[in-house]
Structure 1
Amino acid sequence: MAKRLSNESSISDVLKEFIEVNKLQNGMDKIDVQAAWKSLMGNGVNSYTKEVMLKGSTLYVSLTSAVLREELSYGKEKIIKMINEELRKEVVTAIILR
């Protein structure tokens, strides 16, 4: 049973409790990673991005340009670091570009 929150709880505390009780954190992380990719990569990369999907701690990114895929493969560690810094927690540990 969920613990009862007092009437003086802030909305952020109530939402955190709701996410924790209903085990929604994985879904929230998937949405946050997609948003972080779009904001960090910019319009140029996003125009060639077909799909961004988080499975476990691995980020799968489908790209329509082989040249861009090759270019991004050189900076995988930097991309992982940038996304995790944007989310303020360690969510992504690996990136697969396809």
Structure 2
Amino acid sequence: MLKKNAQPIATILSEFFDENPELKTSVAEHRAVSAWRELLGEGVSHYTKNVYFRRNVLHVQLSSSVLRAELIMNKRNLIDKLNEHAGMEIVKDIVFR
């Protein structure tokens, strides 16, 4: 049986998120936090203690000062990659502690 109003799920979700920008932002924030471990790999994840997102700033707690210094030098590139993975420009800054 064919439905007259059949649409792809991607179209329906896109319309839903366009109607609910707060939810779209919340999903993008979650993607940015989860992308930290995915994009930087197992080596950096080993030294990462805590990652959370607050007011467009990603806070990352690290146990290695050497790694912290290297990540600070690559901060702009990391922000770009995280925003690309999140699907929108959600990360404005990263604070390393």
The TM-score bracket by the shorter chain reads 0.7 to 0.9
1:1-98 equivalent positions in 2, closer than 5 A: 7-22=5-20, 23-98=22-97
User: d(CA) in 2 for partners of 1:36 and 1:97?
Assistant: 16
Structure 1 pair 51/7, CA: closer, same or farther in 2 (3 Å)?
farther
Deviations 1:19-38 (A, max 9, x none): 44453122201221022211
Q: Which runs of 5+ in 1 are unaligned?
A: 1-5
Q: RMSD value over aligned CA atoms?
A: 2.0
2:78 is matched by which residue type in structure 1? I
SS of 1:8's partner is coil
Q: Would you say how many aligned residue pairs link Structure 1 and Structure 2?
A: 93
User: d(CA) in 2 for partners of 1:85 and 1:29?
Assistant: 10
Give aligned-pair identity as a percent.
Answer: 37
SS of 1:9's partner is coil
Contact 1:52 1:60 in 2 (8 A): yes
Cα deviation, residue 79, structure 1? 0.9
Contact 2:50 2:61 in 1 (8 A): yes
Structure 1 pair 20/51, CA: closer, same or farther in 2 (3 Å)?
farther
TM-score by length of 2: 0.78
TM-score by length of 1: 0.77
Cα deviation, residue 41, structure 1? 0.5
Could you list the structure 1 runs, at least 4 aligned residues long, displaced by more than 4 angstroms after superposition. Answer: none
Q: Which has the higher contact order (CA 8 A, sep 6+)?
A: 2
